[in-house]
Structure 1
Amino acid sequence: MTGISPADVVRRQYLASANGDLEALRATLADDVEWTEMAGFPLAGTYRTPEGVTSAVMEQLGKDWDDWIAHDDTYVVDGENVVVLARYTATNKSTRKDIDVRVAHHFVVRGGRIVRFEQFVDTAKVRDAMSA
């Protein structure tokens, strides 16, 4: 994937996620990726390897939420850094409560692959939707 812009790599990741295409999503991630979900988020922690990220994050979100989508709205690009202002929408499977919460994602892209990801989100809104 070299030669593709960092923003295009990140966009492919969002499209793969929205389509539930974990193989295509993994193809956007470097073998040594570091993917960090924010402290306070239900899946908080740092995950490594493309398989580790999809099994610990995307597959888990699919178990707890219906229609989990990260809507990528605005891209701010500075070299290999891509910051995306976005929002999550989903319905919690247990409580049937919906979320519509703003987020920011920081990606670092090198050699056509995502090498680092950090999530910023209002974790209280996500946890509220998980509480009966």
Structure 2
Amino acid sequence: MGLNETSATEPSSAPRDVVRRQYLASAAGDLDALRATLAPDVEWTEMAGFPLAGTYRTPEGVTSNVMERLGADWADWTAHDDTYVVDGENVVVLARYTATHRDTGKELNARVAHHFVVRGGLIVRFEQFVDTALVRDASR
């Protein structure tokens, strides 16, 4: 194998690839696969003003307090990743959230930026940037 290749059974630990696996797992609703991308001591921060604002730790804490709650409140919640900017262990992703709020029936379509830090093939830190007013308005 070449320097940047991995075996078919071993996923790439390159920061961009780890983050991409996280988005794919999230879109598929595969919380086990999503947790597998997160470090045991991960710090996952949802932006102030976002309905789930705060910092969550541990893979289980992230999926139960963020992904499962989003799934309960929103139909078809998806983060569509489209542009990656990678600088060493830092990965910034420009994306779009789409969903329909289960109580109001209002649709959400908001641009977002996510900052990930990946070390040793795992996400150790995440920070979300989003227009929280768009999310609030869709939930009211």
Name the structure 1 match of 2:7: none
Residue 43 (structure 1) aligned to one of 37, 40, 52: 52
When the two chains are superposed, the root-mean-square deviation of aligned CA atoms in Å is 1.0
Q: Which amino acid aligns with 1:40?
A: G
Contact 2:75/2:100 (CA < 8 Å) preserved in 1?
yes
Alignment gaps of 5+ in structure 2:
1-9
Alignment of 1:1-132 (within 5 A): 4-131=13-140
Q: Distance in 2 between matches of 1:5 and 1:27?
A: 14
Structure 1: tracts of 5 or more residues without a match: none
2: CA distance, partners of 1:60 / 1:66: 11
Larger radius of gyration: 2
State the TM-score, normalizing by the size of structure 1: 0.97
TM-score of the superposition, structure 2-length normalised? Answer: 0.92
Q: Is the 8 A contact 2:45 2:55 kept in 1?
A: yes
Q: Tell me the secondary structure at the aligned position of residue 4 of structure 1.
A: coil
The Cα shift of 1:78 comes to 0.1
Identity between Structure 1 and Structure 2 (%):
80
How far apart are the structure 1 equivalents of 2:75 and 2:122? 28
Give the number of aligned pairs: 131
Deviation beyond 3 Å, 4+ runs, structure 1: none
Letter in 1 for 2:94: L
